[in-house]
Chains A and B, each alone.
Chain A
């Protein structure tokens, strides 16, 4: 069966510090991978998606970037965090056009 991991689970960072959130998927190959952000009391905003190694599509201009160095690894990064980067970050995977399966999320608080 497939599983998706995210870490860390919770992170508190000062404004201006760098960020690296990691997502890995087990039990499948060549998945589509997605990063979402969920701000408090709001819906999900798709940030990035990837259909293969090194292939990243950005949905909204922002302070964040994403990379996919391996088939089942998806990383969300920032060089300098802003207060507005606080939120709940969710990674998801899917096989083609099918259902997306979500990880447990990372709670990021920027102070």
Chain B
């Protein structure tokens, strides 16, 4: 069965500092992996996705993530945090078995705070 673990429910960084949000996955088949962002009282917005092409994936708002099969990781990074990056971030893996209806399995989320 597939699963996702996000290390750290809360991460706090200073404005301008590196952002690193950790995600490890478990999958018996080559996974599709996603990062979503959720601002307060809003739905989830796709940041980026990995679908077995390039292992370094660039997304919106300056975020990127690197797929590392040997470490079963898909960590999200941004070189310089901005106040507007404060939000909740979710990592997800796609259940690729067709009979499962394309479900996503989400991590518990990491709340990112950015200090001025």
Asked whether A96 is an interface residue with its Cβ less than 8 Å from the other chain, the reply is: yes
Closest to B49 in A: A99
The interface size bin for chain A is 20 to 34
Within 8 A of B (CB), among A63-95: 88, 90, 92, 94
Q: 1/0 contact trace for B59-84 toward A, CB 8 Å?
A: 00000000000000000000000000
State the total of A-B contacts with C-beta under 8 angstroms. Answer: 51
Q: 1/0 contact trace for A25-39 toward B, CB 8 Å?
A: 000000010100000
The interface size bin for chain B is 20 to 34
**Do A43 and B106 form a contact, CB below 8 Å, given A97-B32, A97-B94?**
yes
Q: Which of B41, B101, B103, B109 contacts A105 (CB 8 A)?
A: B41
Q: 1/0 contact trace for B80-116 toward A, CB 8 Å?
A: 0000000000100010101001111011110000000
Once the chains bind, are B43 and A100 in contact (CB under 8 Å)?
no
Asked whether B18 is an interface residue with its Cβ less than 8 Å from the other chain, the reply is: no
Q: 1/0 contact trace for B2-25 toward A, CB 8 Å?
A: 000000000000000000000000
Q: Chain B: residues with CB nearer than 8 A to chain A?
A: 32, 34, 36, 41-46, 49, 90, 94, 96, 98, 101-104, 106-109
User: Could you list 4 further interchain pairs (A-B, Cβ under 8 angstroms) beyond the known A44-B109, A102-B44?
Assistant: A43-B107, A49-B103, A96-B102, A99-B46
Q: Chain A: residues with CB nearer than 8 A to chain B?
A: 32, 34, 42-44, 46, 49-51, 57, 88, 90, 92, 94, 96-105, 107
